[in-house]
Amino acid sequence: MIRPYHNVMQALEQTWPCARQYELGPWRIFQSDGGGKRVCATRLAFDQISASARQIDGAEQALRDLNQPLLFHIDEGQSELDKALEKRGYHLVDPTDLLAQPLADLCDQALPKTTLFEIWPPLIIQKDIWAAGGVGPQRMNVMNRATEAKTSLLIRWKGRAAGTAYLASHGAVIMVHALIISSEQRGQGLAKWAMRKAALWGQSQGCSVLAVACTKENSVAQNLYSSLGMKHVGHYHYRLKGDLR
């Protein structure tokens, strides 16, 4: 039986997709030309929890052949693999929580008018806001690759563009990615309104759950999601040797 964590993880992979994926023994090797660790980290198949030393050797060689970083995604329950990679000199990177909530819990308030707009493709001003927040062209390429229902949010406040987000769905889950509020517009509750607007869009797509992936060190985002009542459904991290190239 697939646990709720795996449902959200599958939605994460489909809504933030790698460019190419290969199967090698127990591995799924993700390949991308930029776009972050989520789209270039090698991982075990969902029904696997560990790999032999020889299988790890094979994955490392494949990554070198593909000119991909020596980067592995470690799901909860994969402690044996985690320890094996640590012994090989891999260091821990970006412990990340998966948080989720029923959409209905976020659709109980009226939203401010002329504040939140669904737009695809994103406008130049949205791309500028993303770029200022570290979401550049390579991550925009990831958004463009997603093949299921998707949109972006333009957040306006006091007559100005104030933020943006990328929304996409898979199955019953809507994922919110790259939610950025301009620095001069923060502290006004706009991120909360954006999450509620995302939930309404998710309902229109037939979804029932809203989810996000959030690094543990991102205290601002963690506090936002906690204030909305989102619940922890699992976590993952990466093991990296060398750099991300």
Q: In angstroms, rounded to a whole number, what is the distance separating the alpha carbons of residues 176 and 166?
A: 6
Residue identified by tokens 């390579």 is 138
Question: Computed over its alpha carbons, how large is the radius of gyration of the chain?
Answer: 18
pLDDT at 113: 85
Q: Nearest CA to 100 among 220, 214, 236, 215?
A: 214
The amino acid sitting at 204 is S
Cα angle 99, 141, 134; round to 5: 65
pLDDT at 183: 94
Pair 192, 228: CB distance under 8 Å = yes
Q: In angstroms, rounded to a whole number, what is the distance separating the alpha carbons of residues 112 and 120?
A: 21
Give me the CATH topology for the region 101-235: Aminopeptidase (3.40.630)
Strand 173-181 to strand 91-102: parallel, antiparallel, or no bridges (unpaired)? unpaired
Per-residue pLDDT of the chain (245 residues), as tens digits, is 336 899 999 999 999 999 999 999 999 999 998 999 999 999 999 899 999 999 999 999 999 999 999 999 999 999 999 999 999 999 999 999 999 999 999 999 999 988 999 999 999 999 999 999 999 999 999 999 999 999 999 999 999 999 999 999 999 999 999 999 999 999 999 999 999 999 999 999 999 999 999 999 999 999 999 999 999 999 999 999 998 86
Pair 50, 208: CB distance under 8 Å = no
pTM here is: 0.96
Which ranges in the chain are annotated with CATH 3.40.630.30? Answer: 101-235
Q: Which pair of tokens denotes residue 73?
A: 């995604």
Compute CA distances 39 → 20, 117, 128, 142, 202, whole Å.
Answer: 9, 28, 22, 8, 23
